[in-house]
């Protein structure tokens, strides 16, 4: 059994900010390549308004194309109840409900207050259980906001407590603009894990300032076992000015495996997926290992 779980978000977070529309078939190809590398949970798409994020307008089609892929959990990001009404018509394993730790970012990202967003979240919990769909409650800008600056851990902790009480199956803590330091990550995640008890906690890291791997290590030290990353480090939030891509999946796998932390992922096949992911975006990918590794699959 792996020591940690890697959730790859490149088909969603990696591509959502890409201006050139990637075909549903190519998105499906990326997902299949990730599956071949033995990644078993993938955030495939999001049910957002097509005018706000045109890249995700084909959410239903992407999930339909992936129906025959076995032994995989497909996750879809959901910003509101309208998105949930669309998502529940598909064969998804988990919805990733996103709120933010600051009011300004919440309005910019999903067009409503934190309280209104949370009220909608509580409405869908029971129906999700009936449909056998698990729920991750993710908190964006948990360490810093492009509009309000530093975020108090108290705000994040309060949302964690409320989400667990409302029925979240998993909690996601996101460094949306890549501003966290290892000290901040370890301190916040230690407290979140203490509160959550048996509820799984995931960390979602962006590598904007080159701190992604250090922050992942800090999260691991705190006790986090679930990491959301993106093949080739592609991505960025359209509502977070200046936010670069995610922590590269291959970089994190390389570090963990060199440390003796088992991921269960086929590194050589992951590099193939990372190469393909990079080919789908016009932005510079952030993955570092691919740039220096000459012998494919080598941990030397």
Residues noted as catalytic: 237
Report which DSSP code applies to 242: T
Q: Distance between alpha carbon 12 and the CA centroid of its chain, in Å?
A: 8
Structure tokens at 221: 């030290």
| Among candidate residues 12, 58, 37, 24, the one with its CA nearest the CA of residue 275 | 37
Q: 83: number of CA atoms within 13 Å, CB side?
A: 26
The packing angle between helices 114-130 and 153-166, to 10°, is 30
What whole-number distance in Å separates Cα of residue 285 and Cα of residue 59? 23
Count each helix (H run) and each strand (E run) in the chain, helices first.
11, 10
Structure tokens at 21: 């529309």
| Among candidate residues 89, 64, 54, 94, the one with its CA nearest the CA of residue 77 | 94
Let me know: does 18 contact 281? Beta carbons within 8 Å: yes
Structure tokens at 159: 């949302």
Report which DSSP code applies to 209: T
| Number of other CB atoms surrounding residue 23 within 10 Å | 12
The packing angle between helices 114-130 and 103-110, to 10°, is 60
Structure tokens at 38: 């033995």
DSSP helix, strand, coil percent of the chain (3-state; round to 5):
45, 20, 40
């Amino acid at each position: 059994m792996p020591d940690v779980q890697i959730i790859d978000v490149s088909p969603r977070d990696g591509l959502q900010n890409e201006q050139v529309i990637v075909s549903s078939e190519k998105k499906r190809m990326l997902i299949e390549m990730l599956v071949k590398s033995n990644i078993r949970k993938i955030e495939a798409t999001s049910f957002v308004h097509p005018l706000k994020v045109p890249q995700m307008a084909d959410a239903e089609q992407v999930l339909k194309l992936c129906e025959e892929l076995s032994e995989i959990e497909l996750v879809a990001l959901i910003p509101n109840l309208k998105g949930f009404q669309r998502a529940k018509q598909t064969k998804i394993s988990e919805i990733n409900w996103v709120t933010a730790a600051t009011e300004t970012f919440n309005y910019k990202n999903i067009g409503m207050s934190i309280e209104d967003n949370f009220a909608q979240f509580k409405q869908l919990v029971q129906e999700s259980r009936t449909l056998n769909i698990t729920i991750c409650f993710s908190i964006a800008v948990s360490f810093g906001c492009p509009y309000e600056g530093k975020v108090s851990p108290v705000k994040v902790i309060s949302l964690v407590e409320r989400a667990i009480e409302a029925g979240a199956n998993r909690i996601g803590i996101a460094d949306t603009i890549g501003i966290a330091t290892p000290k901040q990550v370890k301190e916040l995640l230690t407290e979140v894990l203490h509160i959550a008890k048996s509820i799984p906690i995931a960390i979602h890291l962006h590598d904007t300032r080159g701190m992604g791997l250090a922050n992942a290590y800090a999260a691991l030290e705190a006790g986090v076992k679930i990491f959301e990353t993106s093949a080739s480090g592609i991505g960025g939030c359209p509502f977070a000015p200046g936010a670069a891509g995610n922590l590269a999946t291959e970089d994190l796998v390389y570090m963990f495996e060199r440390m003796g932390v088992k991921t269960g992922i086929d590194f050589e096949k992951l590099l193939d997926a990372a190469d393909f992911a990079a080919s789908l975006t016009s932005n510079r990918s952030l993955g570092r290992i691919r740039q220096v590794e000459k012998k494919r699959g080598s941990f030397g």
